[in-house]
Amino acid sequence: MAGERADSASEADPGWLALHAEREAVERALTLAQARQKFSTDPEAAAAARRDEADLLVNLDRVLTLIRAAEYRRTPGARRW
């Protein structure tokens, strides 16, 4: 029951929802960049898609790190730095 309260509390937190919405948007853009690389007939477009993919991977890492930090802060007895 306590786990259910934590899950519903996280779902109600606008910051939590915003992080997951950002993660979803970055993952969607990353999928599109990878598809552009794979199916592009223009070498310049494929190269641009590779650069976009690199930037998106950095952004995804940042968002996932923020999500992990938010999850940690929600645990009982979590240390505040």
- pLDDT tens digits, one per residue of 28-78: 999 999 999 999 999 999 999 999 999 999 999 999 999 998 888 888 777
Asked if residue 40 belongs to a domain, the reply is: yes
Mean pLDDT calculated for residue range 4-12: 53
Q: Distance between CA atoms of 16 and 22, rounded to whole angstroms? A: 10
Asked if residue 81 belongs to a domain, the reply is: no
Q: Find the domain containing 18 and state its range.
A: 2-74
Q: Distance between CA atoms of 9 and 44, rounded to whole angstroms? A: 46
Global pTM reads 0.77
The 8-class DSSP code of residue 81 comes to: -
Asked if residue 79 belongs to a domain, the reply is: no
